[in-house]
Structure 1
Amino acid sequence: MILVALGSNLKSLDFGDPQQALEAALRAFAGRGVAVVHKSSWYRSAPVPPSSQPWFTNGVVSVETKHDPFHLLGLLHEIERDFGRVRTVRNESRIIDLDLLAYDELLADGSSGLVLPHPRIAERAFVLHPLREIVPAWQHPVTGETPDQMLERLPEGQQLQRIG
């Protein structure tokens, strides 16, 4: 199972509001050999860590592709660049953010430029709620925890609202 998180909190002249930009990113997947199998609802979330920047729109998708994880991560970064993202400061406002959360049971420690599973899955309500929605029985490849189990351990205070 291949899982990708999507987020946006800036309006784009080319792609519209954050939700429209995320929908456009999903359409861009298809042109790059990445098929969306399941898509969560969209969620609005306060920035993590807390800041004065605008709230984000977030979601999670499961995808199928013939691309290996390195090529897939490169494609996600390519889509981000196509949408105008320039990586300068961690956790800054952005038009688009695409994170490879998991690629089957693959483990990667970053020594090759790839970290899997994503190191902050268990720390983010805006990832865990949509993840639980589309794959409630998924288990973290290292801890064996389900989204519900990880949600139980989250500290209070992460604000999240389901859209629609």
Structure 2
Amino acid sequence: MKNKFIIAVGSNINSPEGFSPIKNCNKAINELSKFNIKIIQKSSWYLSEPIPKSSQPKYYNSVFLCNSNHNVNKVLKIIQIVEQKFGRLRVFKNMPRCIDLDIISFNGNVKNSLLLKIPHPRMHLRKFVLLPLFEIDAHWLHPLLKKNIKFFLEKVKYQKIKKLKID
């Protein structure tokens, strides 16, 4: 059975190898295919302010739709392997990062474990997730809050975000 899931990707610093945030993110997304995760659709890139507000550089963000035969725990493990390969450090919360991959949705289900919460617990508060998600699934419904994506976008319209004209 194919599982359908949505992953958000973001970065605000160059990779240890010197790749730009978008290039490093694209390389990480392509790496997922080596683990039998198929990218079905990808949103545009967006530039956003860090949350919480800080002096960090702005973030480059995108969302992509995937499918795979892997279960959600296996996908999480793969994502963590890919993040580590592409330079992700976890020293302190909300630190700048060269790669960040988050499972936003998995088959439209809810998961609440120590290691993983789906949907992502703050995704509905973050325009940098919602706007790219709206681009690839305008009818997405939050499985816990039972609200559609347009509802959440209205709540975060004050957050500054810019759609970029790049691949």
Of the three residues 128, 136, 139, the one matched with 1:137 is 139
1:63 corresponds to 2:79: no
Indicate yes or no: 2:33 matched with 1:30.
yes
Give me the whole-angstrom Cα distance separating, in 2, the residues matched to 1:12 and 1:85. 8
Partner of 1:148: 150
Q: Which of 38, 48, 52 is equivalent to 1:49?
A: 52
How much does 1:114 deviate? 1.7
Deviation of 1:144 after TM superposition, in Å, equals 2.0
- CA deviation string 1:46-84 (max 9, x = no partner): 101100000010000010011100010111111010011
Question: Under a length normalisation based on structure 2, what TM-score does the superposition of the two structures give?
Answer: 0.93
Give the residue type in structure 1 aligned to 2:127.
A
Give the aligned CA root-mean-square deviation in angstroms.
1.2
Give matches, 1:4-15, under 5 Å: 4-14=7-17
Letter in 2 for 1:146: N
Counterpart Cα distance in 1 of 2:145 and 2:6: 17
Residue in structure 2 matched with residue 127 of structure 1 by the alignment: 129
Map of 1:161 onto structure 2: 162
- Matched residues, number: 162
Equivalents in 2 of 1:88, 1:53: separation in Å? 15
- Say which SS state the counterpart of residue 150 (structure 1) adopts: helix
Structure 2 unpaired stretches of 5+: none
Q: Which runs of 5+ in 1 are unaligned?
A: none
**Does the CA-based 8 Å contact 1:15-1:24 persist in structure 2?**
no
- The DSSP-based 3-state class of the residue aligned with 1:31 is helix
Q: Among all aligned residue pairs of Structure 1 and Structure 2, give the percentage whose two residues are the same amino acid.
A: 33
Residues 102 and 117 of structure 1 are in contact (CA less than 8 Å); yes or no, is this contact kept in structure 2?
Answer: yes
1: distance between equivalents of 2:109 and 2:149?
18
Shift of 1:155: 6.3
State the shift of 1:43 in Å.
Answer: 0.4
Structure 1 runs, 4 residues or longer, greater than 2 Å off: none
Contact 1:47/1:56 (<8 A) preserved:
yes
